[in-house]
Amino acid sequence: MYFCFYVLVVLKQDQSFRESENRGCWLARNQRILDWLLFEKSSIICLQEFWVGNEELVNLYEKRLGDAGYIHFKLARTNNRGDGLLLAVQKEYFKVVNYKELHFNDCGDRVAQLLHVELAFPPSQCQNSGIKQEVLIVNTHLLFPHDSSLCLVRLHQVYKILQYVESYQNEYQLKPLPIILCGDWNGSKRGHVYKFLRTQGFVSSYDTAHQYTDADAHKWISHRNHLGNTCAVDFIWLLNPDKYRKLVKASWSEAVFDMFKCLLRRASPTDSDAFSFLKAENEDCVTYSGFCKALQQLNLVGNCYGLSDEETKELWFQVDIDGNGVIDYKQFLHHLWNPTESSDQRDENNNDKQDDVPNDSEEEEETIGFSVKNAVMFPSEVEKGRWPEDYSLSDHARLTVVFSPIRISCSHMIS
């Protein structure tokens, strides 16, 4: 039994004309998109930049998807932005358990959808075994990083998603379930969002299918943005319930710390410059007040989307390792500028420790997960890092991933 997940952006940006003003153009293009969707027969469809403000277009999708056996959910961005998300599931394969909406309520007016589904026809190895046959699916579209300061907003959006998923699982007392995150993440494999999700145990389905590593950021693209730049921003992330995960809050704090270090290096190319940047004038060490002033210069605080006071203090605690309230030059070099162990190495070491140390408060149980059987993009040129000039369906490539249910063992806490 296989399940296809399909991700595509519906609205098309074009600097030469406004498509929304030409009914013939947007209607014909969306008819073609629907033709593709129905031909592919994906079990789950996730669309971003869906034009929820256009009643005729919404009715078109509802009619054709409904006639094809899909249950669909749409969600508009806040503040009447006009676009939003659409998530559709094939009734033949899934029973909808619950549907939730998440409003980020930030400067980007972005939103996310959470869908909890159960397999209508469980795989043979799970039948009559009492094994969980459910999955959580998220569809979202993160803010575009118009400048470096907005990278923090995008990181916060992902943090909110993971927090919400965690609270949902706790509220309904769910045992470990596979989680699939779909959407336009507006960031590449080099970005902080990608690294943050990797620390949580998520894998990029497309990269898994093609055996690409985290370093293979240049081998494929999925989008040509409004600036004419090509990049890989569309992902279908998979987290199986047997994969190691850090605490979300701890992982978020580490991600903010890494972002801070990157911005600091960008602002101050040498260690002495960076130390001077952080410390107050006429002082020989870094204090909390000087640290906060530097964060403001880096656009991490002092604006509507910056770090809160609590988050700023948590970041300071990561810098002030011994807790004495000051950072001298030697400590700065050791803990900030030239750390002896990279975050990636720490992740690997923590994974090893987690695997090696038994925990009497956990027990093993079998559940369902997914293996990635295949993943393709269309047009095919994007898989080689090229954007074809004659492609007019969207400014994003179509990403389709095929999953196969598998039986896996995982541990959960005994209450």
Express each pLDDT in 113-165 by its tens digit: 999 999 887 665 555 566 768 999 999 999 987 776 688 999 999 999 999 99
Span 275-292, mean pLDDT?
89
- Which residues does 302 contact at the CB level (< 8 Å), separation at least 6? 295, 296
Asked if pLDDT for residue 16 goes beyond 60, the answer is no
Span 103-115, mean pLDDT?
93
Q: What is the DSSP string of 91-148?
A: TTTEEEEEEEEEE--STT--EEEEEEEEESS--GGGTTTT---EEEEEEEEPPP-SSG
CA neighbor of 397 nearest in space, from 245, 211, 224: 224
CA 267 to chain centre: 27
- The tokens for 194 are 């990608």
For residue 231, which phi and psi values (nearest 5 degrees)? -160, 165
Given a contact cutoff of 8 angstroms between Cβ atoms, the answer to whether 181 and 197 are in contact is yes
Asked if pLDDT for residue 354 goes beyond 60, the answer is no
- pLDDT score recorded for residue 343: 45
Asked if pLDDT for residue 5 goes beyond 80, the answer is no
Query: Taking the model in full, what pTM does it have?
Result: 0.88
- pLDDT score recorded for residue 230: 92
- pLDDT score recorded for residue 9: 56
- The tokens for 247 are 């605490």
More confident: 12 or 365: 365
Span 265-279, mean pLDDT?
91
Asked if pLDDT for residue 14 goes beyond 70, the answer is no
More confident: 412 or 45: 45
Given a contact cutoff of 8 angstroms between Cβ atoms, the answer to whether 343 and 258 are in contact is yes
- In angstroms, rounded to a whole number, what is the distance separating the alpha carbons of residues 407 and 385? 35
- The tokens for 161 are 């998603």
DSSP state of 381: G
- In angstroms, rounded to a whole number, what is the distance separating the alpha carbons of residues 178 and 132? 10
Q: What is the pLDDT of residues 296-326, one digit of tens each?
A: 999 898 777 889 999 999 999 988 988 999 9
Helix (H) or strand (E) holding 194: helix 192-199
Asked if pLDDT for residue 184 goes beyond 60, the answer is yes
Amino acid identity of residue 7, one-letter, is V
Domains of the chain: 3-247+360-365+375-413 (3.60.10.10), 252-345 (1.10.238.10)
Would you call the peptide bond into 123 cis, given omega within 30 degrees of 0 as the criterion? Answer: no
Q: How many CB atoms lie within 10 A of CB 308?
A: 9
408 pLDDT tier (thresholds 50, 70, 90) = confident
CA neighbor of 77 nearest in space, from 31, 104, 111: 111
